[in-house]
Structure 1
Amino acid sequence: MTGTVLDDPQLGVRPPWRWGGLFAVVWLVYLLQPVHTAWGAPAPGTRVLALAALAAFAAGFAVFFHWLRRVRAAGEPVPQAVVAATLVAGVALLVAAEPAAGEDVLVGYVYLGVAAVMGLPKREALLTVAGLTASAVGLGYGLPGWEPQWDFLPELLLACFAAYGVDQVLLRNAQLSRARELVVDLAVSRERERVARDVHDILGHSLTVITVKTELVGRLIEATGPDRARTEVAEIEQLARSALADVRATVAGTREVSLAGELAAARRALGSAGIEADLPLSVEGASAAHRELYAWVLREGVTNVVRHSAARRCRVHWDAGCLEVVDDGRGVGVTAAGTGLAGLRARAEAAGARLVSGPVPGGGYRLRLVVGSGAA
């Protein structure tokens, strides 16, 4: 994915790792204590080595923390080898600084503990923190001039505990960002499905009627001459223009259908196909809250009758609770997996309605939409 919601400047969302290095640099202020001690060391060589080691330690921690935040934000697993190498390098740099900085180098244990807690699995992190704790106390008994750092232990442990909390926040933020990307992707996918469904419903009906009328024109030219054919050609042209306008409106998200308009279109389509139409005279009996859904079902039902049924008669009935499109054809409709019926079922489910279709005993096919309490 080359671009995500995380990088969208219009949303005002910035990657969470952008200022990670600066955040780490702020906490490096605690290294001023060993730097001050090393600066006062009498031996120039030892002093230079300690200052260089402490500078490398500070830079390494800032880079590591910045890198770790990026890995966490990307949702990738943290390479354990990199964390282990960082800890080993940090210990080596503190050892190099010890001759000039003395026991003040133990301040670096805070950064090592933070790196371990944020970069290692829980078990390894606990073992590392336990080792640092034991070392902070034990070295005071083993090295000349050192004292056990009992007072330093609360500082070390609290820093590690706080680092664990920060790490959990980073993980939750990364999960939230990925969830937000998923929501955007799902919204785009649903919108594409809606446009595809609407285009199918619109063009399927219009192109079916155009096909029927074109066949009728051919028969009229042979049977009655060009005058009646001109009328049908003019209607075909009007249908094509209307279908093009519908597609444009659908893409723009402004497409609406009316039950009255679909009722008139159904009468024309059935008449052009030579199918006797038994249709309601008005839309008054239809549920006002579901008239748009009724219109879509009527459009798809009549289209299937004209296209598939080879029927002689089609009856449409509706009331406040249901709509039926029934023909006396060969009892074959589109399959349940067809695009048209699948789209209608999606519309019906979204409106809390139920769509049923299938052959009629004795011959024919029925498409039935049930709304309201009857849909349960």
Structure 2
Amino acid sequence: MTFRTRQSAFNPSVTLFEPDDIEDSFPSPEPPQRKKRIKTEQDAEASSSSTPSKRQKTDAASPRKVVKAASPKKPKPIPQALASPHPVPEKWQEVYDTIKEMRSRFTAPVDTMGCDQAQYQESDPKNRRFSTLIALMLSSQTKDEVTDAAVKKLRAAVGGILSIDAVLAAEESTVSEAINKVGFWRRKTGYIRQAAQKLRHDFNSDLPKTVDELCSLPGVGPKMAFLALQSAWNLNHGIGVDVHVHRITNRLGWHKKPTKNPEETRLNLQSWLPSEFHKEINHLLVGFGQVICLPVGPRCDMCDLSTRRLCPSAQKVTKATKRKTVALNEGSPAKIKVELEAEETVFPNPSIDEVSMAQLEVMPNEEEVGSLSTPKTEPS
């Protein structure tokens, strides 16, 4: 290194010695930003290195509680009995037998297109049981003829056999398109596929034999479960109560206090109705409700319960109305129009025998009843 000399500006007698390049004598300072970053990183490392010891001391002083994961709630079992039986209604047997007698005189939609009919298109026992379940799942809020057509269309869409494997192999859009005429078809599409998946994984691709297990399937409730057991396994574990059974038994006064929903109705009925009637009462009252005891405009004028004063809800005729045709099983196909004149008294009405050849009014509720099996459908 070479030096140069210069005289001090403050004292002329002092000589100063300096390197030729003063900048080379000192290292270049680090940029302020980088220096700050290094310091920050070092501080962070120091902080992190000190954290475990503090955490260990804290953990040692107050051990952390281990919280167990909550197990999924098990569904409540379906109730099967009341704490105390419901009182037996007066003359219930006479009422029941009268309805049964009337039902023998006409064919209702449930007789030819009910959910129990779906199984007869399948040969494999498992597929027959699965078809019954599918028909029941599609039937809610849907007319019988629409349900029947949807089951047939779905069977054809998945290859001609309505099985669990066929439904799961099909595209979701295929299932949706086949059932898009039934009520809530989008939701039911998901339910059908989810139920099929659960049946395959949990029940060996077959229907279980208990109400609680059936109700664990998506979209399946107590009514469907009881009816599925009756049709698929011939097991009579309770009454399948739908809107018809619920409506008619309340109109008949069979509940000391009117029931609010089908489950209340079921528990009341099961508490006093002999078990030999549990299986048939649904089919009996559904057909009766589809043709005579309609949700709106019930045909009290053709009901023997009204004639015999066995129904506390028998209605009055207020005006003559246009009638549609119902075919009664009385032998002759001839039909005679009956005009009902306005009156203000509670029926006695003509009995079924007297109007067996008459042209009768049918007013199905689209959400609750199946369509009537009439020879021709009049335009609405």
TM-score by length of 2: 0.20
TM-score by length of 1: 0.20
Q: Which has the larger radius of gyration?
A: 2
